[in-house]
Amino acid sequence: MVRERTGPSTPMEIPPLSQELLVEFTSESLILSASSRFDPKKVLRHLQGVDRVYMGIDMGGDKITARKVRIRQGEFLQEDDDLVQKSQNGEGYLDFLHQVAEISNNERLPVGLSFAGPMEEGKPQHAANMMAMFRELQTEYSGHLERVLPRLVSVKNDATACLISSSVALCREGRDFENFLLIILGGGLGAAVLQDDKIIGTEAGHLKVPDDLNPFQVREICETTKELQSKSHTCLELVAGGVAGLEKTASKVYGKRVTGIELAKMAAQGDETAKRLYMNAAGIVGHVILGLGNLFSLPLGERDHTAVVFHGGVQKAFGFPEWEADAIRKYLGRDLDNVFQTTSIVSSNACLEGAAVAACLAA
Ligand SMILES: [Zn+2]
């Protein structure tokens, strides 16, 4: 069942449109990366003839999850309980991967991995919040993940993986779109576009945040912005990202650690700071939609041309979808026709399922 989000509007102070941010949406600043051909309709047809189990892994900033996914007749079925390990800085991730390697070796399961960070030529580059894992991978395995996971056949950036599973799922539901725009607002902020049967990864989360969209004046620079972009600006992710931005800022404002769940509760109870943080993040998401829409000439709001798909923990916070809808209405002057949550079209772990599909296509 596809549920479109057309919830009631709440008149709130969404930040005004920032031209300063919109002009940042260039191919150069976004460090675009194109995938090999990916036509969701063809992929669905292929998957409809498959009945096999794959190991999907979702490697995020604060936890890593592995699941056996049976792909059968185009559906993604969970075979077993998830294996999950929470972590800071990616500590213990390689031990976890050894466990997963043992299972996938014993059961001969092809492995696909989704990675929450920038990639180059199928290899994770680095991620500020997983440095312990990268150091260990470098010293023990010369940086080769496939030496830890012998059955690893595919590694995708998380936005790309998520776009793979959700575009196929929408096709499965009979929704035929020409373009897809996927925005992840979870621990961080990521976005990818599917156009002309190509998935284009972007580093939208690391664009420079203008002061108008930085209400609590965050003045930090993330490692990705520093290393990948050789820039020294505060990026959108450090303001709008769930862990990297909202939780950190709230913890500073309140002088104690505030988790995302607590922050969402506070916003629901009307706490002004919490609401301001979320509404500002919704405004940033609105800019990402408009900025990428402009750059790729995506026909936004035209029925059955572009699907806008939202994913990530922040998207589930009370009121957030409505604030996003408000931001879109404010910046575009109208509602979007085709807005989806991955949780309503695939499972809560669309990245992991996308990684399993990618493994199926690569194996
Ligand atoms: Zn950054």
Is 9 within the bounds of a domain?
no
227 and 142 in a single domain? The answer is no
Three-state DSSP class for residue 260: helix
Q: How many helices (H) and strands (E) does the chain have?
A: 15, 14
Strands in the chain per DSSP E? 33-37, 51-59, 63-72, 75-78, 83-86, 111-115, 119-120, 123-124, 152-157, 179-185, 189-195, 198-202, 306-311, 339-341
151 and 261 in a single domain? The answer is no
Phi-psi category of 194—alpha, beta or left, where left has phi over 0 and alpha has psi -120 to 50?
A: beta
* Least confident stretch, 29-38, 74-83, 271-280: 29-38
Ligand 1: distance of its center to the CA of 253 in Å?
21
**For the segment 130-169, what is each residue's pLDDT rounded down to a tens digit?**
889 999 999 999 889 999 999 999 999 999 999 999 999 9
pLDDT at 28 over 70: yes
Ligand 1: distance of its center to the CA of 142 in Å?
26
- 232 or 126, higher pLDDT: 232
Long-range pairs for 301-305: beta carbons < 8 A, 24 or more residues apart: 301/332, 301/334, 301/335, 301/336, 301/337, 302/337, 303/337, 303/338, 304/175, 304/176, 304/177, 304/178, 304/337, 304/338, 305/177, 305/178, 305/179
137 and 205 in a single domain? The answer is no
What residues form DSSP beta bridges with 54? 69
Torsions phi, psi for 90 (to 5 deg): 75, 15
Ligand 1: distance of its center to the CA of 281 in Å?
15
Torsions phi, psi for 194 (to 5 deg): -115, 115
276 and 137 in a single domain? The answer is no
Ligand 1: distance of its center to the CA of 308 in Å?
23
Is 135 within the bounds of a domain?
yes
**For the segment 316-328, what is each residue's pLDDT rounded down to a tens digit?**
888 899 999 999 9
Ligand 1: distance of its center to the CA of 30 in Å?
11
Nearest by Cα to 262 from 313, 299, 218? 313
The pLDDT of residue 12 is: 52
Q: pLDDT category, 5, cuts 50, 70, 90? A: very low
**For the segment 243-277, what is each residue's pLDDT rounded down to a tens digit?**
889 999 999 999 999 999 999 999 999 999 999 99
The pLDDT of residue 6 is: 44
Look up residue 323 and give its two tokens.
């604030």
Give me the mean pLDDT over the 193-211 stretch. 95
Number of folded domains that form the chain = 2
262 and 205 in a single domain? The answer is yes
Ligand 1: distance of its center to the CA of 225 in Å?
4
DSSP string, 13-57: -PPPP-HHHHTT--HHHHT-EEEEE--HHHHHHHHTT-EEEEEEE
**For the segment 90-124, what is each residue's pLDDT rounded down to a tens digit?**
999 999 999 999 999 999 999 999 998 877 777 78
Ligand 1: distance of its center to the CA of 158 in Å?
16
Find where tokens 């036509």 sit: 39
Ligand 1: distance of its center to the CA of 99 in Å?
32
Ligand 1: distance of its center to the CA of 88 in Å?
18
Domain encompassing residue 136: 40-162+351-362
78 and 127 in a single domain? The answer is yes
186 and 333 in a single domain? The answer is yes
114 and 185 in a single domain? The answer is no
Read off the amino acid at residue 352.
Answer: L
Give me the mean pLDDT over the 349-360 stretch. 97
The pLDDT of residue 164 is: 97
Is 292 within the bounds of a domain?
yes
Ligand 1: distance of its center to the CA of 155 in Å?
22
Cβ atoms of 95 and 40 closer than 8 Å: no
206 and 315 in a single domain? The answer is yes
Nearest by Cα to 362 from 105, 172, 139, 122? 122
Question: Which DSSP category does 357 fall into?
Answer: H
Ligand 1: distance of its center to the CA of 218 in Å?
12
Ligand 1: distance of its center to the CA of 143 in Å?
23
The pLDDT of residue 131 is: 87
256 and 323 in a single domain? The answer is yes
Is 7 within the bounds of a domain?
no
Is 200 within the bounds of a domain?
yes
The pLDDT of residue 129 is: 79
The pLDDT of residue 10 is: 46
Ligand 1: distance of its center to the CA of 230 in Å?
10
Is 343 within the bounds of a domain?
no
144 and 223 in a single domain? The answer is no
CATH of the domain at 215: 3.30.420.40
Is 171 within the bounds of a domain?
no
The pLDDT of residue 119 is: 78
Ligand 1: distance of its center to the CA of 2 in Å?
33
320 and 203 in a single domain? The answer is yes
Is 231 within the bounds of a domain?
yes
Look up residue 96 and give its two tokens.
């976890």
What residues form DSSP beta bridges with 52? 71
